[in-house]
């Protein structure tokens, strides 16, 4: 493990509009997210001890936001790994292309929302860690 975030990966503080009624985060256009949003998906009701991900994307950019609960994201650029706790509903983690990522430690109430800059495309996935390492190190 390392302390450095890999290229294309960083934490983003989203703007929270709060008042005595509670909190609200709005994500609009490219003002909050560093890419145009083409897709939103979210994982929830994750099984205890489940580990998700285990892939990298060739070109996709994503922003993962734990809108409820918490989980851990491991990021791997082929040279080192960093483990990032995701536990604040107004702090998202960008995941750039060619980053192997694994998600674990899901709290039972975790809802992990992911914004992406392209439609789902299985051809963009690298699901073999060996293939990922070979590509990442070239």
Catalytic residues: 55
Count of positions (residues) in the chain: 138
**134 forms part of the interface with ligand TYD (CB under 6 A):** no
Indicate the helix (H) or strand (E) that contains 134: helix 129-136
The string of DSSP letters for 83-99 reads EEEE--TTEEEEE-TT-
Distance separating alpha carbons of residues 92 and 63, to the nearest angstrom = 6
**43 forms part of the interface with ligand TYD (CB under 6 A):** yes
Please state the closest distance from residue 24 (CB atom) to ligand TYD, in A. Answer: 25
Contact positions with ligand TYD (CB under 6 A) in 63-102: none
Contact of 111 with 68, CB cutoff 8 Å: yes
**10 forms part of the interface with ligand TYD (CB under 6 A):** no
Q: Which of 25, 32, 37, 53 is in the footprint of ligand TYD by CB under 6 A?
A: 53
Please state the closest distance from residue 128 (CB atom) to ligand TYD, in A. Answer: 14
Rg (CA), the chain: 15
Write out the two tokens for 2.
């390392």
Q: Which of 5, 10, 52, 90 is in the footprint of ligand TYD by CB under 6 A?
A: 52
Q: Catalog residues that contact ligand TYD under the rule CB under 6 A.
A: 39, 41, 43, 52-53, 120
């Amino acid at each position: 493990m390392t302390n450095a975030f890999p290229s294309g990966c960083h934490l983003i503080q989203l703007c929270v509009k709060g008042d005595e009624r509670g909190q609200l985060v709005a994500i609009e256009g490219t003002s909050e997210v560093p890419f145009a949003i083409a897709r939103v998906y979210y994982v929830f009701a994750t099984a205890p001890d489940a580990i998700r991900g285990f892939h990298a994307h060739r070109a996709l950019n994503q922003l993962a936001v734990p809108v409820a609960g918490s989980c851990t994201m491991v990021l791997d650029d082929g040279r080192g790994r960093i483990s990032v706790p995701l536990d604040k509903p107004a702090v998202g983690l960008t995941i750039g292309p060619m980053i192997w990522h694994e998600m674990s430690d899901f709290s039972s109430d975790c809802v992990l929302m992911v914004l992406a800059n392209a439609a789902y495309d299985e051809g963009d996935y690298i699901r073999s860690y060996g293939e990922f390492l070979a590509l990442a190190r070239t």
